[in-house]
Amino acid sequence: MDTYIFKKAPFEGTATALATPFSGGEVDLVRMRALCEWQIEMGVDALCVSGTTGEAATLTRSERRAITAAVKESVGDRVPLIVGCGSSDTAIACSLCSEASALGADALLVITPYCNKGTAKGLIEHYKRVADAAAGKPVILYNVPSRTGVDISFTQYEELSKIENVVAVKEAASNLTKITRLAGETSLNIYSGNDDMVLPVVSVGGKGVISVLSNLAPAATAAMTRYALDGDFTSASTLARKYAHLIELLFAETNPAPLKYAMSLLELCSADMRLPMGDIADTLKERIKQELVTLSMI
Alpha-carbon gap, residue 209 to 220, rounded angstroms:
13
Q: How far is CA 61 from CA 23, 102, 136, 207, 245, in A?
A: 18, 14, 22, 31, 36
Contact (Cβ atoms closer than 8 angstroms) between residue 154 and residue 180: no
Alpha-carbon gap, residue 15 to 13, rounded angstroms:
7
Contact (Cβ atoms closer than 8 angstroms) between residue 264 and residue 222: no
SS3 25: coil
Alpha-carbon gap, residue 128 to 140, rounded angstroms:
13
Q: Which residues are catalytic?
A: 142, 170
